[in-house]
């Protein structure tokens, strides 16, 4: 069907005209509200109070979601919302990594608050079209697209029955449909999910950015927590933002010169990239052999941290050879980003699935994807990883989640919890590439064992136990989820701080709050509970700030200024922190310092914790971790590092392992590690100003200026 024929099948449901936006210092001071049940389209004001307390990005998302839902709202209730907000600094092109959006919703996986950050053009274009956020509520009767048209200043809801569901086709169709000509395609941004998001709880959202050199749409993902499944439950096929072209200062900032100066300084630093992380040539895949070297690369469902015999097959040089190395490698997911880590494999010929034989572009794989779909499933095959990456993206499911869920299935299979009969014929041993891919195709088709795996690890554990297939205690130990969300791809066993960095997160175990493994496990910089608690205060608060503003985390510490090593706290990259303070002030005209930066985050972070509590979560028991995250569950795991663990027993636990049975050694080790995690919780809660049950204290909320009546009402009975 031609693009014209696809468009002819659209049926206009609602059209709403708006006055053009007038951004002043990073804000339009209004958000867009769309209700798909009654087809309301409206704007809402952004008050000074909202900016002071919630800043933007995730803060705005949480505020709107709090106001729009009830404590008992379920993920698939019409009143659940998806909020996308880029933040006040989003869209500047003079400093690298400033095109991010934050997406929040009530998650089908955790039944609580999910946030996921993403690049691509939609967030900034929506902002330049006049809105600081879009709030999607209600459910459509039939598949719809929502178009925010900056050319005509109209928002429309249209039934769109004929376009493809899978993102690699849909993004191209809608870009072609709404662009005036080839040159204009760069002004079109599409948000979409995919066919697996229809049949699973782990759906994600693709945000497009048009690549004029390749003449193709590229895709970035808001992956975590099933927000793509919420999107499809609302029968949204796509969002489209039609931009009108970029100019130098669309944010109407307070001090452009200051931003330019910091931007130029950063661009010069990027010349060091070849000697540092090689982000321009490898992206985050540069981490593959590093994580293997330090026993951090999840292998076979996080049992092990390395596989020296096979790492060469998924070494970063392998991915580098497969990524197209373009002119100066300037490939960013937003304009002006000199980090340019958005790598892609061109002309990849698919070997399986509905698009078998076709040559496609694959965005990535990034480290998390390669580790999750590869080593963690025991599949050390770069082409498998690229193929699975492509299908996860176009089907609209999270690569991290699919990786961890498949790895769990494989360990269950190898332990007899699953077998061929129970999986409908799939032989899901570790290393079985074809079965892993077929499982993914089943998710997209909504059939077979793929329907079960697509509900995530927490669901599977309970389902297998109810069926009498396996011991729930063992599955709780090896099922790598916390709060219902699957772990991202680092082995945390030997870093107590990272165990907290994962399991004490607001949304579930994603590394975007804190990555402390080197500081803790390798550098031995934070040996005491107090040290670890300080790190688990500072870094989550600092990193939350990126998601309030529209910044990407990577330019913060995937490149270091030459003199960073001479600073007092090189792990914080002080010069970059200073740059962020300067840029925020230069955009907004405010005057914060690095302490107020943390305070901005602390307000939103605590609000999110209280939001979880409002929904019946967010307490100490919800910060519990599976034992696999903390120590060796199986004999094979212990024996794989027997001398190392025995030494720890002797030196740290004061327990002589000589002559003791393996079971006894494992039991003593487990008690030691579980006790230490409890002590860590105490220390971190204390540092964060929370009670021993993990509830923010009223006094602390007052101190940070987040003592809003609705917040106090939730925490008061729990003090």
Partner 1 sequence: MERTITVNGNVIEWSEGMTVADVLNVMKYTFKLLVIHVNDEIIKREEWPSTLVPQGAEVKVIHLMSGG
- Alpha carbon distance 168, 390 (integer Å): 9
Tell me the two tokens of residue 585: 């002030």
Angle at 122 between CA 120 and CA 123, to 5 degrees: 95
The sign of the torsion formed by the CA atoms of 711, 714, 717, 719 equals: negative
Nearest distance from residue 140's CB to partner 1, in Å?
38
Whichever of 367 and 584 has its CB closer to partner 1, that residue is 367
- The least CB distance from residue 189 to partner 1, in Å, is 27
Q: What is the rounded CA–CA span in Å between residue 534 and residue 27? A: 33
Closest to 169 (Cα-Cα) out of 321, 410, 355: 355
DSSP code string of 377-434: GT---HHHHHHHHHHHHHHTB-HHHHHHHHHHHHHHHHTTSS-TTTTTT----TT-HH
Min. distance of Cβ 561 from partner 1 in angstroms? 11
At closest approach, how far in Å is the CB of 1 from partner 1?
Answer: 43
Looking at 323-398, list the stretches that DSSP marks H as alpha helix, in order from N- to C-terminal side: 367-373, 382-395
Residue 27 to residue 86: CA distance in whole angstroms: 10
Nearer to partner 1, 291 or 405 (CB): 291
Cα–Cα distance, 73 to 297 (Å, whole number): 38
State the burial class of residue 655 (Cβ atoms within 10 Å of its Cβ: 0-12, 13-18, 19+): middle
Provide the minimum distance between the beta carbon of 297 and partner 1 in the complex, in angstroms, as a whole number: 12
Positions of E strands within 246-355 = 344-349
Tell me whether residue 426 or residue 491 sits nearer to partner 1 (CB atom): 491
Residue 57 tokens, joined: 């990005």
Q: What distance, in Å, lies between the first and last C-alpha atoms of the chain?
A: 62
| Closest CB 273 distance from partner 1, rounded Å | 10
How many other CB atoms are there within 10 angstroms of residue 44's CB atom? 16
Question: Which CB atom, from 274 or from 713, has the smaller least distance to partner 1?
Answer: 274
Q: DSSP characters for 90-149?
A: TT-SSSSS---EEEEEE-TTTSSEEEEEE-SSHHHHHHHTT-S-EEEES--SS-EEEEEE
Where on the phi/psi map is residue 136: left (φ > 0), alpha (ψ -120 to 50), or beta? Answer: beta
- Give 664-715 as a DSSP string: HHHHHHHHHHHHHHHHHHHHHHHHHTB-TTSPBPHHHHHHHT---HHHHHHH
Respond yes or no on whether the N-terminal peptide bond of residue 395 is cis (omega within 30° of 0). no
Show the beta-strand stretches assigned E in 400-459. Answer: none
Q: Give whichever of 95 and 542 is closer to partner 1, judged by the CB atom.
A: 542
Closest approach of partner 1 to the CB of residue 566, in Å: 6
Residue placing its CB nearer to partner 1 in the complex, 353 or 364 = 364
What are the beta bridge partners of residue 135?
Answer: 33, 83
Nearer to partner 1, 483 or 553 (CB): 553
Judged by beta carbon, residue 495 or residue 588, the one nearer partner 1 is: 495
Q: In the complex, what is the shortest distance from the CB of residue 117 to partner 1, in angstroms, rounded to a whole number?
A: 14
Identity of the residue, 289 or 331, whose beta carbon is nearer to partner 1 in the bound complex: 289
The span from the CA of 326 to the CA of 346, in Å, is 11
Q: Select 78 or 574, whichever has its Cβ closest to partner 1.
A: 574
Of 464 and 546, which CB lies nearer to partner 1 in the complex structure?
Answer: 546
Minimum gap (Å) between residue 447 Cβ and partner 1: 36
Q: Give me the residues that bind partner 1 (CB under 8 A), please.
A: 275-277, 284, 286-287, 289-291, 293-294, 367, 490, 511, 515-519, 522-525, 527, 557-558, 560, 564-566, 570-571, 573
Q: Which of 58/286 has CB closer to partner 1?
A: 286
In whole angstroms, how close is the CB of 401 to partner 1 at the nearest point? 18
Q: How far is the CB of 539 from partner 1 (least distance, A)?
A: 9
Cα distance between residue 624 and residue 571, in whole Å: 27
Chain CA centroid to CA 111, Å = 17
The phi and psi torsions of 548 (rounded to 5 degrees) equal -85, -25
As measured in angstroms, the least distance from the Cβ of 558 to partner 1 is 5
User: In whole angstroms, how close is the CB of 59 to partner 1 at the nearest point?
Assistant: 22
How many other β-carbons are positioned within 10 Å of the β-carbon of residue 161?
Answer: 13
What the block records as the tokens of 169 is 């086709």
The SS3 of residue 1 is: coil
Specify the residue, 158 or 278, whose C-beta has the smaller distance to partner 1: 278
Nearer to partner 1, 105 or 340 (CB): 340
Nearest distance, CB of residue 70 and partner 1, angstroms: 35
């Amino acid at each position: 069907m031609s693009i014209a024929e696809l468009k002819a099948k659209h049926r206009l449901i609602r059209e709403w005209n708006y006055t053009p936006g007038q951004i002043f210092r990073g804000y339009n001071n209004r958000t867009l509200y769309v209700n798909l049940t009654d087809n309301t389209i409206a704007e809402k004001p952004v008050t000074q109070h909202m900016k002071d307390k919630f800043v933007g990005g995730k803060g705005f998302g949480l505020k709107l979601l709090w106001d729009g839902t009830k404590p008992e709202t379920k993920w698939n209730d019409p009143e659940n919302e998806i909020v996308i907000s880029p933040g006040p600094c989003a869209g500047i092109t003079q400093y690298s990594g400033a095109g991010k959006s934050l997406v929040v919703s009530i998650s089908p996986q955790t039944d609580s608050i999910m946030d996921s950050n993403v690049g691509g053009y939609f967030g900034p274009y929506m902002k330049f079209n006049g809105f600081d956020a879009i709030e999607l509520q209600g459910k459509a009767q039939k598949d719809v697209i929502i178009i925010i048209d900056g050319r005509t200043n109209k928002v429309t809801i249209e039934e769109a029955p004929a376009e493809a569901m899978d993102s690699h086709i849909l993004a191209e169709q809608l870009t072609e449909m709404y662009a005036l000509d080839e040159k204009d395609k760069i002004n079109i941004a599409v948000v979409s999910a995919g066919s697996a998001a229809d049949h699973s709880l782990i759906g994600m959202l693709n945000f497009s950015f048009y690549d004029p050199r390749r003449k193709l749409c590229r895709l970035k993902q808001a992956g975590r927590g099933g927000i793509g499944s919420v999107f499809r439950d609302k029968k949204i096929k796509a969002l489209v933002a039609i931009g009108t072209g970029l100019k130098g200062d669309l944010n109407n900032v307070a001090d452009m010169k200051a931003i330019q100066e910091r931007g130029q300084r950063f661009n010069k630093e990027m010349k060091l990239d070849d000697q540092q992380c090689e982000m321009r040539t490898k992206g985050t895949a540069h981490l593959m052999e590093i994580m293997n070297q330090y026993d951090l690369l999840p292998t076979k469902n996080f049992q092990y941290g390395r596989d020296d015999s096979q790492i060469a097959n998924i070494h970063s040089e392998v991915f580098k050879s497969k990524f197209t190395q373009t002119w100066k490698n300037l490939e960013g997911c937003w304009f002006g980003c000199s980090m340019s880590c958005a790598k892609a494999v061109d002309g990849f010929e698919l070997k399986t699935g509905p698009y078998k034989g076709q040559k496609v572009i694959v965005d990535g794989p990034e480290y998390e994807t390669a580790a999750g779909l590869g080593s963690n499933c025991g599949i050390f095959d770069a082409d498998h990883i690229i193929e699975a990456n492509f299908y996860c993206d176009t089907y609209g499911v999270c690569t991290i989640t699919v990786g961890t869920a498949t790895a769990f299935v494989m360990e269950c299979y190898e332990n007899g919890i699953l077998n061929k009969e129970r999986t409908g014929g799939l032989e899901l041993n570790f290393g079985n590439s074809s079965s892993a891919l077929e499982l993914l195709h089943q998710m997209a088709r909504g059939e077979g064992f793929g329907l079960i795996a697509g509900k995530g690890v927490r669901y599977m554990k309970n389902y297998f136990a109810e069926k009498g297939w396996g011991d729930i205690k063992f599955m709780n130990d090896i099922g790598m989820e916390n709060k219902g969300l699957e772990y991202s791809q680092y082995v945390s066993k030997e870093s107590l701080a990272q165990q907290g960095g994962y399991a004490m997160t607001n949304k579930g175990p994603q590394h975007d709050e804190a990555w402390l493994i080197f500081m803790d496990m390798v550098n031995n910089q934070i040996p005491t509970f107090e040290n670890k608690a300080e790190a688990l205060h500072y870094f989550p608060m600092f990193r939350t700030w990126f998601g309030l503003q529209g910044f990407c985390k990577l330019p913060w510490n995937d490149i270091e200024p030459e003199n960073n090593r001479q600073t007092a706290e090189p792990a914080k990259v002080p010069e970059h922190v200073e740059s962020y303070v300067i840029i925020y002030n230069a955009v907004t005209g405010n005057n914060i310092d690095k302490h107020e930066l943390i305070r901005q985050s602390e307000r939103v972070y605590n609000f999110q914790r209280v939001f979880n509590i409002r929904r019946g979560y967010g307490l100490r028991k919800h910060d519990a971790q599976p034992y696999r995250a903390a120590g060796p569950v199986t004999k094979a795991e212990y024996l794989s590092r027997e001398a190392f663990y025995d030494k720890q027993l002797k030196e740290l636990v004061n327990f002589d392992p000589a002559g003791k049975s393996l079971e006894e050694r494992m039991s003593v080790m487990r008690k030691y590690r579980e006790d230490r995690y409890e002590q860590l919780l105490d220390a971190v809660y204390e540092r964060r100003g929370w009670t021993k049950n993990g509830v923010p204290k009223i006094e602390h909320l007052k101190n940070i200026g987040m003592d809003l009546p609705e917040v106090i009402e939730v925490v008061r009975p729990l003090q």
